[in-house]
Amino acid sequence: MVELAKPPFDTAAFLMNAGMGRRIVQIEPRQTFYSQGDPADFVFYLQSGRVKIAVVSQAGKEATIAIVSEGDFVGEGSLAAVPGLRLSTATAITACTAMKISRDEMIRVMHEERDFSDLFMKFLLTRSMRIQADLVDQLFNSSERRLARVLLLMAEFSRPGEQQRLIPKISQETLAEMVGTTRSRVSFFMNRFRKLGFIDYDGRIRVHRSLLNVVLHDRLPSDSGDEPDLPGIPEE
């Protein structure tokens, strides 16, 4: 009796189409995928949209630690050897479509399908390198350069393309949390970037590739004093 060959595993189809142990979910802006302290029993694959990952201290202080984009996984910590609770909160910045995959199904596919395991391992390594870069950024760079880097990452200028890009709507408070500074300093730097032609604002922030100069060369003129808030960017 001739055994039929197993059809090749289609990673793209697995991540885009509902099936055993997985389903597609729609998350509206400001809605959560999960909250800190929830059971860690699902992984999400972000098909579209942007997600903010934040943690809250025992004193109630919130810090945004990452912005996740289309093509990334969210909540991968649930795959730890011992299931536990979420250590962060994932909130939609824009309308999101995601594949919600159960922990058991995710582990099964990783064990059985090499192509999927390779894809997930590449994601984990990229995420690890990003975390290391964020740590170096916090330790050695000025808050102005850190803000420039956050804006460039949100505009995804690491990918080839146009010279300017819109970023999702985001408050100065959230930018301040990500940069590790105050909202007033974020407002001050945003005004400088706008005056120097690095960003525009017409309802949403448009980032120009020339902002890379701030990160690569750090040659902005020195300013002092306060400036008014950038009109239209919400404080909260």
What residue ranges do the domains of the chain occupy? 11-111, 138-216
pLDDT score of 4: 61
pLDDT tens readout for residues 131-169:
888 888 888 888 998 999 899 888 876 555 567 888 888
Decide if pLDDT at 68 tops 60: yes
What CATH number belongs to 138-216? 1.10.10.10
- The amino acid sitting at 177 is E
CB atoms within 10 A of CB 197: 10
pLDDT tens readout for residues 183-195:
999 999 999 999 9
pLDDT score of 178: 87
Average predicted confidence (pLDDT) for the chain:
85
Decide if pLDDT at 33 tops 90: yes
Phi, psi for 53 (deg, rounded to 5): -105, 125
Q: Which residue has the higher pLDDT, 229 or 189?
A: 189
Distance CA 230, CA 134 (A): 26
CA distances from 196 to 94, 188, 199, 219 (A): 28, 13, 8, 12
Greatest CA separation for the chain: 83
Q: Which residues, at least 6 apart from 232, have a Cβ–Cβ distance to it below 8 Å?
A: 201, 203
pLDDT score of 40: 94
Token pair for 187: 């407002």
- The amino acid sitting at 235 is E
pLDDT score of 216: 67
Pick among 1.10.150.130, 2.40.160.20, 2.60.120.10, 3.30.420.40: CATH of 11-111: 2.60.120.10
**Which one, of 126, 99, 121, lies nearest residue 110 by Cα?**
121
The pTM for the full model equals: 0.79
Instruction: Find tokens 């010279």 and name the residue.
Output: 163
